[in-house]
């Protein structure tokens, strides 16, 4: 028997499980219009691992009612401290896990459940995520899948993260899509590399289920994978002659993937999203690009209250979760253009906070990316700009976790980690400096060592561009940071035979080329 397409009793479940199923079906299918595609993909017998994204505490219930077999799942051990709650959630299939350490008992229980031919529900991201993306899967899920030999069923859910908005109930439509069982039979090794590969395939399968669902283009844009590979820019130095002077353009100069992605999302919003369109702060830190977008209809506002309806774009630097919740509470169409590398840093900060670490954010205190990270890291988070700012006495003897503004330098991170190591009882450092930043910084230092003058092109409010100028200046005093070619001064290049040009990750190619052409005219005559 089914109600709204959901089974009202599963095979082999307890009476309490069935009663809770009835209540949940009436609530979620009736009130929240919950609909599931592909539930028939669950095998009727034998061991199965259901893997899905994790957005809210109610996810086990929402997932569980989709299937006609009872599910077992891990829940943090703190929930089992209350006797009444322990009885309830245990009867609903939960068993405890200590997420702050490797919990061998939870691993053993998982394998025993599968050995008994039951269904194990797993949330491989490890923690609830507050955005719409599918984050990295922990390799432990790959280990359980390969060691048990169980069928793996990918499932994508959406909506539970919007059931509470700024503490008030919302009524989002809930939906889920269940994909076909995932074949991992070719992964025969039993080692960390194989487990990681299995976890990677599982994440791809869940992400693929999302793409196959009937979601809107805006929702599809919001949940782009949070760690897409950056398309390579030129990895070679480029030289241009101007008489006897050589102008050398650095490797990897200019737009990074996150910026290109944000601009593409913004252009798509202009074409098809509800008007008017506004960005919460400048979409990227480049004045000329922001002006061009304003001319095409993208207003820049300082806070959600300034939105006049329509569509609100979250810029590359990201925002705190409560800002997005506030925008949705005002019924704005939210389009998330947060850089995927920033999204990873946000995910790590939230995971550290939820696991009980004292969170340290290494970054510029007033930078919007850091403000967003603070929102994910919780109220007790500490922001420092270098090791000298660490409140070591406050952190002494604690479990300390570190995340990093994506445009910081590796040397600054090393200094902070070295200062924390003797003071912390346990230190977990996530190097969330993005690959694009590291490539550009390394290339800029390489360039500065080979030329007589360096010109760094990009917005003065761009943290990554300012960092490039700082690094070049530490090698070569004759370093100049400009926003456009009109700022070039002839006296900067007296007696120079090799002039280097590099640019920040938010600098368009046309500004780099304009600078090169202006230099040719300036020194080539």
**Closest by Cα among 153, 156, 137, 140 to 206:** 156
Count the alpha carbons within 13 Å of 478 in the hemisphere toward its beta carbon: 22
* Helix H or strand E encompassing 101: none
Indicate the Cα dihedral angle 82, 83, 88, 91, nearest 10°. Answer: 120
Q: What is the DSSP string of 25-77?
A: IIIIIIIS--EEE-GGGS-SSS-EEEEE---STTHHHHHHTTSSS-EEEEEEG
Q: Where are the beta strands (DSSP E) in 87-234?
A: 94-97, 119-122, 151-158, 164-165, 168-169, 175-178
Q: Could you give the maximum distance between any two Cα atoms of the chain, in Å?
A: 89
Which strands sit side by side in the sheet containing 71-76, from one edge to the other? Answer: 35-37, 175-178, 151-158, 48-52, 119-122, 71-76, 94-97
- Name the DSSP class of 338: -
Report whether 335 contacts 222 (CB < 8 A).
Answer: yes
Marked catalytic residue, from 125, 325, 369, 511: 369
For 84, counting Cβ atoms within 10 Å of its Cβ (0-12 exposed, 13-18 middle, 19+ buried), the class is exposed
Question: Residue 205 in 3-state DSSP?
Answer: helix
End-to-end CA distance of the chain: 86
Whole-number Å distance between alpha carbons of 473 and 433: 21
Residues 457, 482 contacting (CB under 8 angstroms): yes
Among 387, 389, 433, which residue's Cα sits nearest to residue 409? 433
Taking each continuous run of H as one helix and of E as one strand, the counts in the chain are 17, 24
| Total Cβ atoms within 10 A of residue 117 | 13
Coil vs helix vs strand at 437: helix
The residue count of the chain comes to: 525
- Local structure of 358: helix, strand or coil: strand
Half-sphere exposure at residue 445, Cβ-oriented, CA atoms within 13 angstroms: 9
Nearest alpha carbon to residue 219 among 256, 269, 271: 269
| Number of CB atoms found within 10 A of residue 460's CB | 12
Catalytic annotation present for 197? no
For residue 276, cis peptide bond before it (omega within 30 degrees of 0): yes
Hey, CA dihedral for 318, 344, 330, 375, is it positive or negative?
Answer: negative
Residues assigned a catalytic role: 369
């Amino acid at each position: 028997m089914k109600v709204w397409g959901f089974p009202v009793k599963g095979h082999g479940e307890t009476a309490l499980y069935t009663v809770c199923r009835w209540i949940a079906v009436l609530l979620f299918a009736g009130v929240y219009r919950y609909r599931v595609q592909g539930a028939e993909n669950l095998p009727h017998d034998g061991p199965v691992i259901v893997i899905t994204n994790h957005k809210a505490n109610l996810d086990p219930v929402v997932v569980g009612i989709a299937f006609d077999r009872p599910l077992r799942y891990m829940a943090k051990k703190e929930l089992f401290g209350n006797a009444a709650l322990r009885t309830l959630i245990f009867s609903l299939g939960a068993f405890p896990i200590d997420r702050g350490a490797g919990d061998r008992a939870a691993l053993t229980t998982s394998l025993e459940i599968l050995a008994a031919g039951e269904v194990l529900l797993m949330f491989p991201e490890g923690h609830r995520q507050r955005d719409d993306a599918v984050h990295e899967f922990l390799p432990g899920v790959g280990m359980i899948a390969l060691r048990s030999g169980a069928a793996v069923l990918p499932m994508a859910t959406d909506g539970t993260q919007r059931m509470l908005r700024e503490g008030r109930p919302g009524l989002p439509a809930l939906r889920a899509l269940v994909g076909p069982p995932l074949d991992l039979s070719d992964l025969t090794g039993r080692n960390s590399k194989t487990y990681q590969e299995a976890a990677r395939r599982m994440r791809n399968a869940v992400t693929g289920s999302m793409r196959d669902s009937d979601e809107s283009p805006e929702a599809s844009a919001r949940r782009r994978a949070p760690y897409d590979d950056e398309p390579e820019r030129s990895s070679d130095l480029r030289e241009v002659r101007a008489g006897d002077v050589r102008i050398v353009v650095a490797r990897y100069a200019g737009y990074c993937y996150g910026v290109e992605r944000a601009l593409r999302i913004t252009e798509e919003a202009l074409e098809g999203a509800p008007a008017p369109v506004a960005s919460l702060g400048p979409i990227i830190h480049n004045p000329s690009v922001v002006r061009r977008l304003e001319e095409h209809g993208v207003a820049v506002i300082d806070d959600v209250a300034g939105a006049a309806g329509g569509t609100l774009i979250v810029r590359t630097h990201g925002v705190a979760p409560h800002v997005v919740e506030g925008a949705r509470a005002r019924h704005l169409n939210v389009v998330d253009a947060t850089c995927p590398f920033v999204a990873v840093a946000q995910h790590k900060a939230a995971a550290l906070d939820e696991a009980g670490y004292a969170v340290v954010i290494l970054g510029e205190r007033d930078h919007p990316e850091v403000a967003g990270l603070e929102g994910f890291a919780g109220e007790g988070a500490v922001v420092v700009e270098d090791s000298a700012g660490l409140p070591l006495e406050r952190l002494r003897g604690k479990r300390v976790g570190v995340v990093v503004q994506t445009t910081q330098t590796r040397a600054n991170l090393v200094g902070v980690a070295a200062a924390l190591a003797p003071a912390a009882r346990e230190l977990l450092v996530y190097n969330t400096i993005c690959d694009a930043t590291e490539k550009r910084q390394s290339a800029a230092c390489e360039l500065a060592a080979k030329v007589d003058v360096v010109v760094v092109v990009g917005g003065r409010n761009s943290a990554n561009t300012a960092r490039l100028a700082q690094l070049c200046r530490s090698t070569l005093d004759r370093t100049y940071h400009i926003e456009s070619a009109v700022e070039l001064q002839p006296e900067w290049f007296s007696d120079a035979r090799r002039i280097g040009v590099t640019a920040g990750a938010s600098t368009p190619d046309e500004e780099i080329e304009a600078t090169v052409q202006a230099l040719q005219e300036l020194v080539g005559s």
